[in-house]
Structure 1
Amino acid sequence: MQSAFYTPPRSGPSSPPKLSAGSPPLLFATPSPRASTKPSVPRFVAPSAQQGRTRAYLAFPPNSPPIRLPSATPSAPPRVPATAPVFASPIDNHAREREKAADDAFAAAEAHRAALHRTRMERANAEALKGEIDWVRSGGVLRDAEGNRDYARTETIREELRVAAVEKAVMERWDAYEARWAALRGSNTAAASHDQGTSMRFADVPWPVVSDGRGSVGVGDLTTEKIEEFLFASLKVRGATVTKKERIRSSLLRWHPDKMTAILSRVADEDAEIVRSGIHAVVLCLHQLNAANEAVS
């Protein structure tokens, strides 16, 4: 590639270059035919002091090859040759196992400490609540953190005491009913093995009703309402898991006439008819409760 710089001559400090009439302005220099064909590097010729502020121009010869600039598109990263997999040494594996064991031991210790703290807090809260309950039961009034009488919390504990007393009475009544049935089954077995005579009366049968306070139960007390109240009262106690359907089913199996034959055989003659009537009334009420429960569910 050839290039030349042309500096127009000046006749004076401000005279322009002289050109022939009709000729175009000479802007680029044409290389001489005798010039060397070897590519040359363009040179910049600085204007001399006499040329003043005249500008110079960079020119390229015709048919010169284009200049290729580097592409702005990023090239693909060089490929990294694949390396063989690196396997951990036995020493590294043992170190990791020891570290994991230490972490597990620390986590277990933290969980144990948290469980102990939770147990201590629960025990402390239970003791504090027991103290408040005992104080309210004795007629005292609780106080808040500022020392003022806390009537709202006192009334809450009083209500809790009333509910707890009712639930306790209900469960004691049901437990006594179950205990009487267990004793009756045991006595039936003993009577059968020793061939004992009749000794049972109507009052000895554990009827599924609440006594009216006179200490005795009659056939007239064996109504559907009273039997329902007795059988389902314990199901309303907090924490009860037995359903009405399960309670009715177990009662029907207990009072089935075939199973009551052993009891009737031990009843005194003067009470045999009334006991038989009582058993029939209980079974009838249980069937009515079962039908009503199935209709609801």
Structure 2
Amino acid sequence: MSSLGYLAFPPLSSLPSRSTVPEGLPSQHDGNHTPSAATETSRDAEQRAHASEERRRREDVQRQRRVEAQMEMALQGELDYVRMGLSVRDRHGRIDKARTEYLRAEIRRRDTHARVIKQWDTYKTRWKVLLASNTPLAFADIPWPVAHQPSSALDLQPEAVVLFFTESLQATGIATTEADRLRSALLRWHPDKMSTVLARTVATDVDSVSEGVNIVFRALHARIHHVKDTAAAS
């Protein structure tokens, strides 16, 4: 007796899948997917907006600088006018006493600032020159930290020494504290450190230079302790 046969079909899961994407077109799973035109348009718009904002920012900065330059030029004109001993007038032609006094105070402030900057730069330059040479030194060759060059140790006042360093700290705008500035100066003017300077000093000026060094050192030492005590009490 013959048995009936049947056709065996493989399960559906084993059949190869057929892509519905026509051949030659990129698949949605393709890693080289090209952004749509809408995406590119949005990105371009963002870039243009950013560039426009950056351009406006630069223009604002330039405009502000021009305004500040014009204001400074106008102020300088007023300062020059007052320097000649004249008084500025208001828009009605009357003497503006308040404005004139303000300008006189500004002149004093600027002159003081320029003087302090110059004397501090001179002080540093003189120290560089002194340390770079080995020639004999007189009392007048020492860069004494005071506004006016002393003729002897008797001209060195402790208050003037302290003022020299505190004024220069404010005028130069260096990002350091008074205590740090004083400590640095204290190291430089320590009698042991200054022994090399004394060794180069001519015999006739050794005593006066030594006395001057001690005056400067004691003034700095007293001031730095005052600063520390004030900080501790606050």
Q: TM-score, normalised by structure 1?
A: 0.59
CA–CA distance in structure 1, aligned partners of residues 192 and 67 of structure 2 = 55
1:205 to 133, 138, 142: 142
Alignment pair present for 1:148 and 2:94: yes
Q: CA RMSD in A?
A: 2.4
CA 1:140 to 1:222, structure 2 compared with 1: closer, same or farther past 3 Å? Answer: closer
CA–CA distance in structure 2, aligned partners of residues 261 and 277 of structure 1 = 12
For residues 163-182 of structure 1, the aligned pairs below 5 Å read: 163-182=109-128
For residues 1-297 of structure 1, the aligned pairs below 5 Å read: 90-187=36-133, 191=134, 199-211=136-148, 216-237=150-171, 239=173, 241-297=175-231
CA–CA distance in structure 2, aligned partners of residues 210 and 292 of structure 1 = 22
CA–CA distance in structure 1, aligned partners of residues 192 and 174 of structure 2 = 30
AA partner of residue 253 (structure 1): L
Q: Is the 8 A contact 2:117 2:172 kept in 1?
A: no
CA 1:136 to 1:248, structure 2 compared with 1: closer, same or farther past 3 Å? Answer: same
Q: TM-score, normalised by structure 2?
A: 0.74
CA 1:149 to 1:262, structure 2 compared with 1: closer, same or farther past 3 Å? Answer: same
Per-residue CA deviations over 1:228-249 (Å, capped at 9, x if unaligned) read 2222232344846442202211
CA–CA distance in structure 1, aligned partners of residues 119 and 97 of structure 2 = 33
C-alpha displacement of 1:95:
1.3
Aligned residues: 198
C-alpha displacement of 1:295:
0.8
Per-residue CA deviations over 1:186-232 (Å, capped at 9, x if unaligned) read 11xxx2xxxx6xx2112221222343xxx643222334323222222
Secondary structure of 1:111 counterpart: helix
Identity of aligned residues (%): 33
Q: Name the structure where helix makes up a greater proportion of residues.
A: 2
CA–CA distance in structure 2, aligned partners of residues 221 and 148 of structure 1 = 48
CA 1:240 to 1:138, structure 2 compared with 1: closer, same or farther past 3 Å? Answer: farther
AA partner of residue 106 (structure 1): S
Q: Which has the larger radius of gyration?
A: 1
C-alpha displacement of 1:251:
0.7
C-alpha displacement of 1:136:
1.6
Q: Is the 8 A contact 1:248 1:290 kept in 2?
A: yes
AA partner of residue 209 (structure 1): V
Q: Which structure would you say has the larger RCO, counting Cα contacts within 8 Å and 6 or more residues apart?
A: 2
AA partner of residue 96 (structure 1): S
Q: Unpaired segments of 5 or more residues in structure 2?
A: 1-34
C-alpha displacement of 1:116:
2.3
